[in-house]
Structure 1
Amino acid sequence: MAEREAADAQRFGQLLRALRKERGLSLSQLAAITYTHRGSIGNIENGKRLPDRRFAEIADVELGADGRLIASWRHATGDRDARRRRSQLLDAALAESRDIAREAEPVMADSAGERTQELAVQYLGTPPAKILETAIRLRREVNTALKHGQLRSRAVTDGIVTVGRLSGILAYAALDLGYPDAATAHSEAAWRCADLAGDAELKAWTRGTQSLIYRFKGDNQRALDSAVAGQEHTRRGQSLSRLLSAEAQCRAVDGDSQSANRLLSRGLAECEQGSTRDAEAGIFGFPIEKLHYYVGSSLIWLDGEKDAERAVTGAVTAVQLWDTAEPHRRSPSDQALSRIYWTTASLQLGDISGAAEAIRPVLDLPTDLRYSWINRRLHPLLTTLTKPPYADAPEALELIGQIRFFLADP
């Protein structure tokens, strides 16, 4: 059973077990009323298999699930073909990235650079699963053209950079979909291209992306090393601001408030002074709202009241800037994450009403915009809400229920 399908089966099984125990039924009793073997139900509850629709419908009625079991079953089975197709696309892209990283001369096709730039901008407002096929197809076209000598010699370097940028887009998509190892391979392909082309900006951007991937994996030291290494390839502007912000978050995770705040202030100055070239648009850019986003995402790791206050200010500013930005600059996933950081910092300050206000729009996100980072950052909120001073508080209990529903909702 594929990893995602196994996870769906586990969720269905856990829900079934919880409902059965709430009704005070044994496995044998549930088996009798659903006309199913006791051992089969045990396997279902343990996530080893999914039942058929008949079982889900009967169990939903008999356990008083009010449609929850049926919804869970539909999520686990209805999207299976789409998930498998997406997995096949990811596997194909992963194989190509590993191939690119080993190749001596990765190359591109004419005019692909402009299409790559458009794709980078579209990424901000488009679910990553919808970006995959276009990015994979375009990168394949680029590689095929140069491998067969279809480009003029002066276009080769530009082609290598384009392949690197497309690999970077695939790294972002893989990470947003919850595949950090695939994201690592795509980033290595991007670095290989940047190195072959001698493109300092792509090198800096790729190191920043690798820092992001390592943070997702929980390897703060490698995330820090990547952020610092990237600064060797850029001296000013938004590119440097992005790396300074990445370093700030790593320093904050290590508990170094002074360094984190200093780096964020320096990053703000660089971001305000720098200009965004066309080639740096979309996910290759680092606009001022992203810097404020990092203020929130970094300082929530610290314990100080001033850090929490600055985190709230940063996250709120990011949300406000995105709300008023031109449509092509808006990033729903980053806006949602900014609200989660706003919520986290509000709880650190004892402001549960402010936390509830901040998180509400996130809990209304459609399924295709619930990126892996969002779910990942919501889990610590649950832990905070179940501990003093919030444990058993009515507002906290309501938020806990809403967040759990969001995380379980297909």
Structure 2
Amino acid sequence: MGQPQQLRFVVLIRQMGLSSYPDFKCRYTKTAQRLGIRSRTPCVDERTFRRWVSGGMKGVPRSREVRRVLEAMFPGWTVQQLFARGPVEGKRFERGKNFRGTAPPFDYRVGDDIMAAADESARFAAVAESTNVGPHTMDQLFADIERIVRAYPNRPVTAQFNEIRYLRDRTFRLLEGRQPPQYTTNLYLAAGLLCGVLANASFDLGQYAAAETQARTAFLCGELARRNGLRAWVRGLQALIAYWAGRPHDAVALSDSGLAFTPEQGTPHIRLASIKARALGQLARSSEALTVLHQADAMREGLTDEGEVTAGMMAFPLGKQLYCASSAHLWLGGDQHLADAERRAQEAVGWFSRLPDHERRLGEESLARIDLALARLARGELAGAADQVHRVLDSHARRGIESVNRRIGQFTRRLSQHPAANSPIAVGLNEAIVAHRRACSHGLPSGELS
């Protein structure tokens, strides 16, 4: 059996060189003007034209003006004949008035195949050239991400979560569309950053399983974007989650995995080393922990550029490095380590306190203050420890995160075992902690951490 014949309209526009919509529109408009037609819609829109060409229209055009123009464009053909399948040979056609030059010297059926092939290539080029993303979209997307990561440390987590989630979803939708390869790479970077922020937010809200899922997606996006800085940062976040989840061996392994990625620039390796040192301290591997702390210090001294993925909450400034070192020393215990822990924590608190109000990192400063309180409590300075915890309770009421909440719990247990646990200072501090826990509640309803 032979191949089904095409619509005469399709064959004729190819012969006339009108297969592209701009060419067809030009000829259609001129014909309508010649006929004196002044319609509010002087031309067939591109969607309708594409439907005609694909054979997706049932019947014939209903508009009397459209039928008049088409029959004038194709003399000798009625609209019913144009939108029916059949041969075009043997029909009256004034080629001289309608073709762009002389009739082709080859057989029309061969010409149809050649024009069809050319039209297919043209359609591919049009699709390949189309994009749902442009420079303005990308600039705005990364401007929004920068605003979010800079504001994150100083605002309540729940107040930001849905905004970050919305921006992530929008980025995913853009990736499902069509864009040039360089935009696709940047969209994967944006998606990775946003999933990383959502992972951090889920972690701050105590939803560790959700945080790990978000982190895995962030790491995949870093792979697709081929950005070592993002991959290393996400590995650091995964190591941090493992550390807080009581899996120090996993935290060490994840830190080592992240250190295998050479960042383009920035602080991800300093962060990885600092997290690894805390995990090693938790494992009581003293010499290894101290070695890694020295490595982190050396990296800080050699730092020249903080990099593209380390602004705001993704940064690892000196204050965070100092309180990570303090935590490592606290785990190791003993007089010298306690002295080192107090010194590092005091330096961290001083660093955070010097930040302007709009850049305050309340959660991180609180963690440093609790380290300082624990070191002082271990050394018998109950009043100095209580002062730091009261400051933490005030900050935590404004920006509650789970890691601070857990550290308050750790301090409470240590205080209950202290020789001065029944002193007025200790009793007053315990009452303040209990009142704080009753007053504060944070987190999203179940199912909203996707």
TM-score where L is the length of structure 2: 0.64
Question: Paired residue for 2:302, among 273, 277, 284?
Answer: 273
Q: Is contact 2:412–2:430 with CA below 8 Å preserved after alignment?
A: yes
Residue deviations 1:128-161, cap 9 Å, x none?
1121122111111111112121x22211111101
Q: Is contact 1:322–1:329 with CA below 8 Å preserved after alignment?
A: no
Question: Paired residue for 1:227, among 245, 255, 276?
Answer: 255
Question: Paired residue for 1:161, among 189, 205, 219?
Answer: 189
- Give distance in 1, aligned partners of 2:324 and 2:260: 21
Paired AA for residue 206 in structure 1: V
How far off is 1:170 after superposition? 0.2
Asked whether 1:264 is paired with 2:293, we answer yes
- Aligned pairs (5 A) from 1:105-120: 110-111=138-139, 112-120=141-149
SS in 2 for 1:360: helix
Q: Is contact 2:363–2:396 with CA below 8 Å preserved after alignment?
A: no
Question: Paired residue for 1:245, among 274, 296, 301?
Answer: 274
Larger Rg: 2
Q: Is contact 2:229–2:262 with CA below 8 Å preserved after alignment?
A: yes
How far off is 1:227 after superposition? 1.0
Asked whether 1:185 is paired with 2:216, we answer no
Residue deviations 1:94-125, cap 9 Å, x none?
xxxxxxxxxxxxx9862312321221111111
- Aligned pairs (5 A) from 1:5-404: 110-111=138-139, 112-149=141-178, 151-234=179-262, 238-274=267-303, 275-365=305-395, 367-404=397-434
- Give distance in 2, aligned partners of 1:282 and 1:237: 13
Residue deviations 1:190-249, cap 9 Å, x none?
011111122111110000000111122111111111111110013675221100001000
Q: Is contact 2:229–2:309 with CA below 8 Å preserved after alignment?
A: no
How far off is 1:253 after superposition? 0.1
Paired AA for residue 235 in structure 2: R
Paired AA for residue 159 in structure 1: L
Q: Is contact 1:124–1:328 with CA below 8 Å preserved after alignment?
A: no
> Higher helix fraction: Structure 1 or Structure 2?
1
Q: Is contact 2:390–2:429 with CA below 8 Å preserved after alignment?
A: no
Paired AA for residue 168 in structure 2: R
What is the aligned-residue identity percentage?
27
- Give distance in 2, aligned partners of 1:251 and 1:232: 18
- Identify which range, 374-383 or 358-367, moves more after superposition: 358-367
Aligned residues: 303
Q: Is contact 1:117–1:279 with CA below 8 Å preserved after alignment?
A: no
SS in 2 for 1:390: coil
Over aligned residue pairs, what C-alpha RMSD do you find? Answer: 1.9
**Which 4+ residue blocks in structure 1 deviate beyond 6 angstroms?**
none
* Closer/same/farther in 2, CA of residues 329 and 227 from structure 1, 3 Å limit: farther
- Give distance in 1, aligned partners of 2:206 and 2:396: 17
* Closer/same/farther in 2, CA of residues 399 and 214 from structure 1, 3 Å limit: same
Paired AA for residue 167 in structure 1: C
Q: Is contact 1:167–1:186 with CA below 8 Å preserved after alignment?
A: yes
Q: Is contact 1:208–1:243 with CA below 8 Å preserved after alignment?
A: yes
* Closer/same/farther in 2, CA of residues 153 and 278 from structure 1, 3 Å limit: closer
Q: Is contact 1:171–1:187 with CA below 8 Å preserved after alignment?
A: yes
TM-score where L is the length of structure 1: 0.70
Paired AA for residue 199 in structure 1: R
Q: Is contact 1:268–1:288 with CA below 8 Å preserved after alignment?
A: no
Paired AA for residue 209 in structure 2: D
- Identify which range, 394-403 or 337-346, moves more after superposition: 394-403
